[in-house]
Structure 1
Amino acid sequence: MQCYPADSHSVHWLGAERCTNSQSPQSSSRTSVDSNHADLARRFLDHQHIGQTADAEIFQSNAGRLGMDPFTDAEMSQWRSERERLLQQYSTDFKRDYGWAIPLFGRSPNFRELEELASLKHLRGYYRWASHEVHSGSRGLDLNIFERGDGAHYRLTGRTDEGFAEPGTMALVSLNQTLNSLIGSGSDGDFSPRDLLGCMAIQVLLNECDDAFVAGDAVVTEAHERHAMRTGGRCSNRVILLADGFRSRAESIAGRISRAARR
């Protein structure tokens, strides 16, 4: 299976197995985690206070330079006291980025280790791809160089009608994984026939949405190529309208998935 496109934004990454790699609703590793660490959800929620205090400390040290009012001493004292209470309750290592997950590893893990535990290691390529787009590294810059018409290259700085297939499908795969985990978390390892049927139906909608995204990308690319032959690479409103039409179709299917998930 293609993990991620090196230089193309229109690779049908799902391959022959389609969305089946979004993982089954209930994995044996997660069942073990749930049964052995019943307080994991509470640790995760409590950890937000660690992040909140760290953010406040950074803001407080830069408030003057930013020309903004700092937090009051009372506010900082309250947040620091809550942090200290949590460190005493759990451990001093609880203050680390993923300190809430220490019971799973016997130490503070990194993001890659959490990814592997969740059986999502195969999606690391997409995580890196998205990170390149978010952060201002040289790879992110390179990914936003496009070629049009006469072979001229340009850097994408505004809106675009290309490259929606994979990000759109990946967002829906993540939604589907979250839904399956939510349903499975209260099932003691066994899905009811109704839940199983619901997950299978949503999988069908997910595949339809993937088809819409991929078809839309193909049509837009073809329209760009035809337009480039006629105009030497200048973009037209018709191409943008074509993209908007397929995007609307994909959004409509995504809406059906979201409504089904809420039922």
Structure 2
Amino acid sequence: MLGKFKRSRQVDDDFLTRTIEEAVLKKVQNGFDPERVGELISKAVPELIDEMSPQLAASLMKDNRRLRAVKRGDRKYDRRLQKRWGRALDLYVLIHTLCAELGEKTAHKERDGLTPTQEYTLEALTGLHVSACRVAGEVLTLLSHGHPRGALARCRTLHETAVIAGVIADSASDSDHSDLAERFLDHEIIGLRRDARQFQKDHATLGEEPLEQAYLDELDRKYNEVITKYGADFKREYGWAKKFSPNDNLRALEEKASLSHIRPHYQWASSEVHCGARGLSRNFVEYRGIVVRDAGKTNVGLIDPASMALNSLMQVTFSLAVEGAPEGSDFEAVLCMRAVDEIRSACCNAFIDAQVEIDQAERKILERMQRKAPKL
């Protein structure tokens, strides 16, 4: 692909230099002191850039050859990736579809006479399941187009969703903490008020109109209500879980949900979310004996994000359809989850098989390259 770009006629790399030289030469011919060329250039360059950049942008936008080449390359790459990983990705689609259907069926069951606690629990778990299905679909899209690290970043959100769904489902039958779902839903106002106050502070810089004072007053009223109801600790990020877990943070909730063993994968995924030095080292990959910076697509590394995403999606689905169901788990839901788990095992094996095939093909290529390499 890079070779095609080099052979195609793109914007001349010497365009700006040539333009400056022509302008300077014209000045000298008109009697300008040659010894003051440096001064002339230092003054002319900013003005020249201001003048020429719109013309350059217009030229680039008119020439569609680069864009067509990139799109053509992407399509070819996606077809090759599908050929290698198609079976595994198809099973991922099946699991995602089954979980979504089971969640929808559970959420739309006819239920009469639910207690407020049961209604809060069902509302919270349904909302979390909807989010999990959407994010799992985003993971699938990223994997299908060669972006496993982007998929891993979304797995971080899925893990957090699985943890929260797990503790809410577990607390539903606990008389001491049966209000956890209500607390979780009421905590929305904390984030809304925080975001609104930040926007109000920065709206002028953003070029936006300020929020209406009546809206801000209403947020303050609701905020004061929940702080009065639950206490000052409720304003913390996981303040809704303070009563359930005195250490109101995700790590403590992972322990409560029996998901603390996922912490290493979660931290790995976090390095793809936050822009820290730790994540930069992951940009280096070895390709056929050469260490390169990976700035684009790759057809390896799909196993971990796929496995992490499916596990989290199934945990959220289980929390909604089995553990957190107001009437208790039923035979059909348990049977469906067991069947989905069987498919998950087959899916993970398919991902592993695809990676093994790629590794074997790469070894053969390296062996051929070594045979053809000149002997010293």
What TM-score comes out, normalization by structure 2 length?
Answer: 0.50
Equivalent residue pairs, number: 206
Contact 1:93 1:108 in 2 (8 A): no
- Give the counterpart of 1:145 among 284, 289, 297: 284
After superposition, the C-alpha distances for 1:33-76 in whole angstroms (9 at most, x for unaligned) are 64322211111011111111111222222222223333222222
Q: 2:263 aligns with which of 124, 139, 159?
A: 124
- Structure 2 counterpart of 1:160: 298
Is the partner of 2:271 in helix, strand or coil? helix
Calculate percent identity across the aligned residue pairs: 36
Aligned AA for 1:69?
Answer: E
Matched, 1:195 2:328: no
Structure 1 residue aligned with 2:221: 81
Secondary structure of residue in 2 paired with 1:57: helix
1: CA distance between counterparts of 2:267 and 2:310?
A: 18
The DSSP-based 3-state class of the residue aligned with 2:242 is: helix
- 1:113 shift after superposition: 0.6
Deviation at 1:228, TM superposition (A): 5.5
Contact kept in structure 2, 1:87 and 1:95, CA below 8 Å: yes
Q: 1:192 to 1:33 in 2, by over 3 A?
A: closer
In the alignment, what sits opposite 1:245?
A: none
Contact 1:49 1:79 in 2 (8 A): yes
Q: How does 1:1-263 map to 2 (within 5 A)?
A: 30=170, 34-105=174-245, 107=246, 109-149=248-288, 151-182=289-320, 183-186=322-325, 191-227=329-365
- SS of residue paired to 1:133: coil
> Larger C-alpha radius of gyration, 1 or 2?
2
**Separation in 2, partners of 1:108, 1:81:** 28
Asked if the contact 1:147–1:153 (Cα under 8 Å) also holds between the matched residues in 2, the reply is yes
RMSD value over aligned CA atoms?
2.9
One-letter code of the match for 2:316?
Answer: T
Give CA-to-partner distance per residue, 1:140-167, whole Å, 9 cap, x none: 1112210112x32222222222111110
Q: Distance in 2 between matches of 1:59 and 1:219?
A: 51
Alpha-carbon spacing, 1:169–1:142, altered in 2? closer, same or farther (3 Å): same
Name whichever structure is richer in helix by fraction.
2
> What is the TM-score when the length of structure 1 is the normalising length?
0.69
Query: Match of 1:214, as an amino acid?
Result: I
CA contact (8 A) 2:170 2:323 kept: no
Code of the residue aligned with 2:276 in structure 1: it is G
For the Cα contact (< 8 Å) 1:99–1:108, is it kept in 2? Answer: no
1:162, 1:221 within 8 Å by CA — same for their partners in 2? no
Contact 1:49 1:83 in 2 (8 A): yes
Give the direction of change, closer, same or farther, for the CA distance of 1:123–1:80 in structure 2 (3 Å limit).
Answer: same
